[in-house]
Amino acid sequence: MAQDTRTSLKTSWYLLGPAFVAAIAYVDPGNVAANVSAGTKFGYLLLWVVVVANVLAALVQYLSAKLGLVTGRSLPEAIGRRMRRPARLAFWAQAELVAMATDVAEILGGAIALRVLFNLPLLIGGIITGVVSLLLLTVKDRRGQLMFERVITGLLLVIAIGFAASFFVATPPPEGVLSGLVPRFRGTESVLLAAAILGATVMPHAVYLHSGLARDRHGHPDAGARRRHLLRITRWDVALAMTVAGTVNAALLLLAAINLQHHGATASIEGAYAAVHDTLGATIAVLFAIGLLASGLASASVGAYAGAMIMQGLLHWSISMVVRRLITLCPALAILAIGVDPTRTLVLSQVVLSFGIPFAVLPLVRLTSNRELMGSDTNHPATTFFGWAVGAMVSLLNVVLIYLTVTG
């Protein structure tokens, strides 16, 4: 019996991985920009947004993985099968816009990291980030998904260490952290940053991607003991991955609140690097920059993976991820060439992402609540309620955001 338990445990750990690939989307450079901006401008005020967004993201990611396991289809495929061509094209257009916003954030983040590390021009850094992300995609093509998961999980570990290293030198005051867990806003800008944090945390392309990752890794098991086992492992996979991602996001906001607020630092990634360098030393600052670089490289490759899955599921076009990476690299490089403020662009890209969340979350909740499609693994009524609540809350926040932006 003990031997069987040990064997089962080893097998269970081996099955972990898809959620860690999806979790890269939750620690991408857009998250860095949104959380650094929030911590610099408002201190601990929006910490509760990070916590709530991470909990919501965990629920959504599990539903996505469950859909892939139970139906054998990715979310884009499942959505596309229920739409006529005009509606499918329109849905793809908004999903593609979200994917482009994701690409912008990832390439910009890598370019900023290379500038602070090696003083490279942003355009050159963006090109290097794009090329390295292409090389990461070749790992998936040549060595398979399992090796790709291991590489991306390794980069996630680098990101976590890089962004959390500052707490070995300076820790936040407990009263400040507790005050940040009380839900509240402070003016239009705080709502904008809350939407940016939400858009950076509940990532539409990660929602689309996770269903395909789970299906490709675990297959499409029939209802029964094996499917129940895989769903149980998937819950652990999501819980562990999102705990890591949530901790990193909270650490970024706290890092900015401690070291940037009231220190005259600008609410930018480069300002954060300079402030960390001045207050915590060169070693911690370099680790921060390395974490940012790993974030840009990993998320760029994962974003291209998701974009190819979206296109295949909705348009039924199979396009090489490498070719797609080359195409979607152009808008980000154009922004770098124009000379737009990179950190502000990163934050705004996350706001764009937040508008794509309902288009991913609401169909996902509806599909996983369909007993004809999901059988015995249909959502529990409480899960369905919370799923609809997530979509409704995000939609309402976006309406408020538009109103405040226009009238402000």
Residue 340: phi and psi, rounded to 5, are -70, 145
- pLDDT value, residue 347: 66
| 40-93 per-position pLDDT tens digit | 889 999 999 999 989 988 999 999 999 999 999 999 999 998 888 889 999 998
Residue 2 confidence class, pLDDT cut points 50, 70, 90? very low
Q: What are phi and psi of 148, to 5 degrees?
A: -60, -45
Output the CA–CA distances (angstroms, integers) from residue 155 to 24, 58, 102, 223, in the order listed.
9, 20, 18, 35
Q: In this predicted structure, which of 54-63, 143-152, 198-207 has the lowest mean pLDDT?
A: 198-207
In the predicted structure, residue 237 carries a pLDDT above the cut 90: yes
CB 346 within 8 A of CB 31: no
Stretch 203-232: mean pLDDT, rounded? 89
Who wins on pLDDT, 48 or 205?
48
- Mean pLDDT of the region 145-152: 87
Kindly state the percentage of the chain with pLDDT values over 90: 31
In contact, 35 and 249? CB cutoff 8 Å: yes
- Residue 202 near residue 361, CB atoms below 8 Å: yes
> What's the DSSP call for residue 378?
P
Q: Domains for the chain: give ranges and CATH numbers.
A: 21-407 (1.20.1740.10)
Of the listed ranges 27-31, 71-75, 266-270, 382-386, the least confidently predicted one is 266-270
Q: How confident is the model at residue 379 (pLDDT cuts 50, 70, 90)?
A: very high
The rounded distance, in Å, linking the Cα atoms of 275 and 145 is 39
3-state secondary structure 211-279: HHHHHHHHCCCCCCHHHHHHHHHHHHHHHHHHHHHHHHHHHHHHHHHHHCCCCCCCCCHHHHHHHHHHH
Q: If you count DSSP H runs as helices and E runs as strands, how many of each does the chain have, helices first?
A: 18, 0
Mind listing the pLDDT tens digit for each residue in 288-347?
A: 999 989 998 898 888 888 888 888 888 887 777 667 777 777 888 888 888 777 767 776
Side chain identity at residue 337, one-letter code: A
Tell which wins on pLDDT, 168 or 22.
22
Tell me the CA end-to-end span of the chain in Å, nearest whole number.
66
The CA angle 17-138-215, to the nearest 5 degrees, is 35
Q: Tell me the C-alpha distance between 82 and 77, whole Å.
A: 9
Range from 81-95, 121-135, 227-241, 350-364 carrying the lowest mean pLDDT: 350-364
What's the rounded mean pLDDT across residues 86-108?
85
The amino acid that residue 402 corresponds to is: I
The whole-model pTM stands at 0.87
Cα distances from 82 to residues 40, 79, 100, 373, 375, in angstroms, run 45, 6, 25, 12, 18
Nearest C-alpha neighbor of 99 from the set 329, 322, 291? 329
pLDDT, position 58: 92
- Residue 238 is predicted with a pLDDT of 94
What's the burial of 342, exposed, middle or buried (CB within 10 Å: 0-12/13-18/19+)? buried
For 21-35, what is the mean pLDDT?
85
Q: Given this model, what pLDDT does residue 9 score? A: 46
What per-residue confidence (pLDDT) applies to 200? 64
What's the chain's average pLDDT? 84
Lowest mean pLDDT: which of 118-127, 235-244, 330-339, 394-403? 394-403
Task: Report the run of H or E that residue 77 belongs to, with start and end.
Answer: helix 75-80
CA distance 83 to 67: 18
CA dihedral sign of residues 378, 380, 385, 391: negative
Strand spans (E) along 42-135: none
- Give the lowest-confidence range in 92-106, 238-252, 306-320, 393-407: 393-407
Q: What is the pLDDT of residues 180-189, one digit of tens each?
A: 999 998 887 8
Confidence class for position 280, pLDDT limits 50, 70, 90: confident
Q: What is each CA distance from 120 to 80, 135, 145, in whole angstroms?
A: 43, 20, 33
